[in-house]
Amino acid sequence: MRKKASAWLALALGVGVALSGCSSNSSSSDDAKQGSQKAGEKLEIFSWWTGAGEEDGLKALIKLFQEKYPDIQVENAAVAGGAGTNAKAVLASRMQGNDPPSTFQVHGGAELNEGWVAAGKMEPLNDLYEKEGWMDKFPKALIDMVSKDGNIYSVPVNIHRGNVLWYNKKIFADNGLQPPKTFDEFFQVADKLKAKGITPLALGDKEPWAATHLFENVLLGTLGTENYKKLWTGELSFNDPQVKQAVETFKKMLGYINEDHSSRNWQDAAQLVAEGKAAMYVMGDWVKGYFVNDLKLKVNQDFGYVPVPNTEGKFMVITDTFGLPKGVKNPDDVKKFLAVLGSVEGQDAFNPLKGSIPARIDADPSKYDEYGKQTMQDFKTAELAPSLAHGSAAPEGFVTKVNQAVNIFVTQKDVKTFIDTLASAAAELKK
Amino acid sequence: METVNITPAEKTAYVPSVRKKRKWTADHWLAAAFLAPSVVLIFLFVYGFIGWTGYVSLSNWNSLVPDWSFAGLKNYLYLFHDFRFQADLRNTLVFTVLFIAAVIVLGQLLAILLDQKLRGESLFRNIFFFPMALSFVVTGVVWQWLFNPSTGVNLFLKPLGLDGKWYTDTNILFGFHWGKIEFGIPVAIIAVVVAAVWQMTGFAVAMYLAGLRAIPDEVREAARMDGATEFQLYWKIILPLLRPITVSVIIIMAHISLKIFDLIYAMTGPGANFVTDVPGVYMFETTFRGNYYANGAAIAMVMLLSVAIFIVPYLISSRKGGS
């Protein structure tokens, strides 16, 4: 009998171990949640800001929040990975599993509206906007980017400009060149550089979005803001002759890029310009953060910047925003954080470090460098265009398909196949 | 059970009522009880989720909002007409063949060399086996750096006039057009194969070495007595004796290579023109970036089937061999 009893005891233990092993496997955040319930609900801030500059900005923001609300525990739940590709995967599985973070980084535009809002996962924030008096502090076009059907769903913390042509000042000075303003000028300059044995244009499309980024800039420059926007609502077909013209220009540009583009990411490509191995680079203004913070280069001394050819007066806008997911346990704490994030103080703590400009029109320009001041000025007057590569213009699924088509095009350079693929993928836009 | 017709030959061994009682002693109940949780968990978390994935792959769930309407084979048809997936299948096939062939040939060769009773054998054994201790992600990052066109081994090769493009090369060897893709051996995949072989050969060496040690010395002596040369000895006798090990190595390597993800994700990603893309990477990007859950599930099912093609015949044959 005793033997039997001990066997049953062992069995009970075995089952216990098996079950506990199972539960700790299923989700490590369960443990975190249980821990936090004892010590009051934690405020979990989910983002992909782990790089130099952006991480500093986020920490400054959290520090400011902690000074105001020392009782609220904050957890910085950042997931590493360029342009948030890994973070988005983690976020998707958590949201699908009804385990949302308290607040998370999401690009304003389609990524927010056609993704999480359409899926019914976000709380509207209209009352917060009214309480904080934000309706006239953020530009109307920007509020529209974070709204769907009359409700506002997130708070923009920054603005990045996507249509910037970065160039190496020394190379341009040595060769007596002026930064190009039109595509024709661009190809003239590129030919001269190529003749001298300098790579005219840097590209790093190990992650294909970087090539899509170049393509969307050519589209904006060729089509103009109105027609460019119509592409994403299905009002303008990809079979339009203007699109073909843009694809031809894009194809021609690909003749001037560095050979090893597919082994480089966006930083590696920026490095080519910094080291004087390539002359120009089309990329968003996070490049400035990389140049200044990581490579210790000086604005307008080591590198210069102009709008991408044919896009003067246009502003490819990329905005990082934070929203309130449905089903979080501490919505009031989250709203407190969002209020700090949307305040002048919050924006000015974050943006100078991150290298972006504030989303509010009444922020303090003296806190920003030369580039930031000029971009803030441009932002007030320019036509705003949403970025495709960064999820503002179209749903993620469409962006993934465009990235695939661009990846194939960069090697095959088959204009007809490319346009056909885009046109058939665009069928999804007209929902 | 008791009313089953029994042939006379079996009758002596088959005494139903007695046997049934004897079978389910406390020990048997205990054993069953111990096994039950893992059986339940495996059915739930393995077979249940395979079924779930299969179900999703037949649905229209291609956004953040689940849509369970029945789509038939739409997602599969889309895949097989897709340039990227065709390229993936080509890459998987090329990768699997090259990888397994290289692992087996190198594994046998190194094991035979190690088997020569040389001094410091354990040191060599460890050297060959240590890469196994790394994760594929680490291997991918290291070889990515080694094969980078502007750094790594190319710093030594460039002065010699060799300009290695390695994994950024988009050329396809022996290529001919088939479907939407150019069928052949993508040069870039060879770079990935090198990294994978570097990592996994140690496993094959260990397997073969164990096999070689299990062959009795009498066999070798008898062959030598009959006048066989060393080469004949290995080619005609030892290697055929190692065939069961080769089968095991092929099975294990095949399932690794058919569902490989981490090495390629860390080392090259999809690559230009998808020359190094594999279904695993495509599945990840489709499901978690594009939110095309049904399409992603369809890719996962195709991967499962491709592994099953290797595993199921093996399971059947080993069952037969066992009974």
Q: Residue B296 and residue B61: Cα distance in Å, rounded? A: 10
| A101 within 8 A of A46, measured Cβ to Cβ | yes
pLDDT, mean of residues B176-205: 90
- Cα distances (angstroms) measured from residue A232 to each of A159, A163, A215, B18: 21, 18, 14, 77
Q: Residue B150's pLDDT band (boundaries 50, 70, 90)?
A: confident
Confidence at residue B66, expressed as pLDDT on a 0 to 100 scale: 83
Q: Which residue has the higher pLDDT, B26 or A13?
A: B26
The beta strands (E) that lie in A320-413 are given as 320-323, 357-358, 383-386
Taking the Cβ of residue B271 and every Cβ of chain A, the question of whether any pair is shorter than 8 Å is answered with yes
The answer to whether A208 contacts B270, with C-beta atoms less than 8 Å apart, is yes
The tens digit of pLDDT for each residue in B39-81 reads 999 999 999 999 999 999 999 998 888 889 999 999 999 999 9
Lowest mean pLDDT among B89-93, B109-113, B265-269: B265-269
The Cα A96–Cα B210 span in angstroms is 48
CB contact under 8 A, A397 and B65: no
Burial class (CB in 10 A: 0-12, 13-18, 19+), B255: middle
Count Cα atoms within 13 angstroms, Cβ side, for A386: 26
Chain B interface includes A400 (CB < 8 A)? yes
The two tokens of residue B8 are: 């006379």
Task: Specify the amino acid at residue B117.
Answer: K
CB contact under 8 A, A397 and B84: no
pLDDT bin (cut points 50, 70, 90) of residue B22 is: low
pLDDT tens for residues B207-226? 999 999 999 889 888 988 88
Contact state of A407 with B37 under an 8 Å Cβ cutoff: no
Which of B167, B168, B290 is the closest to A400 by Cβ? B290
Instruction: Determine contact: B29 vs chain A, CB below 8 A.
Output: no
Compute CA A175 distance to the chain's CA centroid, rounded to the nearest angstrom. Answer: 35
CA distance A206 to chain B (A): 7
Q: Is B49 on the interface with A (CB under 8 A)?
A: no
- What is residue A431's predicted lDDT score, i.e. its pLDDT? 52
Q: Which residue of A has its CA nearest to B273?
A: A408
pLDDT at A206: 86
Can you tell me the distance from the alpha carbon of B178 to that of B90, in angstroms, rounded to the nearest whole number?
10
For residues B163-168, give the mean pLDDT. 80
> Strands A74-78 and A43-47: what pairing?
parallel
| pTM across the whole model | 0.84
Helices marked H in chain B: 8-11, 16-23, 26-42, 49-57, 74-80, 83-114, 121-129, 136-147, 154-157, 187-214, 217-225, 230-232, 239-241, 243-258, 262-267, 279-284, 293-322
- φ/ψ of B286, rounded to 5, equals -65, -45
pLDDT at B289: 82
Question: Which of B148, B269, B273 is closest, CB to CB, to A411?
Answer: B273
Contact A48, A80 (CB under 8 A): yes
Shortest distance, CA A71 to any CA of chain B (angstroms): 35
pLDDT of residue A198: 95
Inter-chain residue contact A118 with B64, CB threshold 8 Å:
yes
A162 near A269, Cβ under 8 Å?
A: no
CB distance from B248 to chain A under 8 Å?
A: no
CA distance A408 to chain B (A): 4
**Angle value at C-alpha A128, between A127 and A133, nearest 5 degrees:** 100
Question: What's residue A18's pLDDT?
Answer: 46
Average pLDDT, integer, range B183-200? 92
Please give the pLDDT value at position A128. 95
Task: For residue B305, report the phi and psi dihedrals to the nearest 5 degrees.
Answer: -65, -40
**pLDDT the model gives residue A265:** 87
Contact A118 B167 (CB under 8 A): no
pLDDT value, residue A350: 93
DSSP states of B45-85 as a string? IIIIHHHHHHHHHTB---SSS----B-TTHHHHHHHT-HHH
ipTM greater than cut 0.95: no
B273 chain-A contacts, CB cut-off 8 A: 407-408, 410-412
A258, A122, A425, A408: which is closest to B277 by C-alpha? A408
Which residue from A18, A88, A260 is facing B38, i.e. has the nearest CB? A18
Q: Does B284 touch chain A (CB under 8 A)?
A: yes
What is the predicted pLDDT for the residue at B6? 47
A206–chain B Cβ distance below 8 A for any pair: yes
With contacts defined as CB-CB under 8 Å, which chain B residues touch A119? 63-65
**Which residues of chain A are under the pLDDT cut of 70?**
1-40, 81-85, 430-431
Give the Cα separation of A168 and B132 in Å (integer). Answer: 45
The pLDDT of residue B23 is: 65
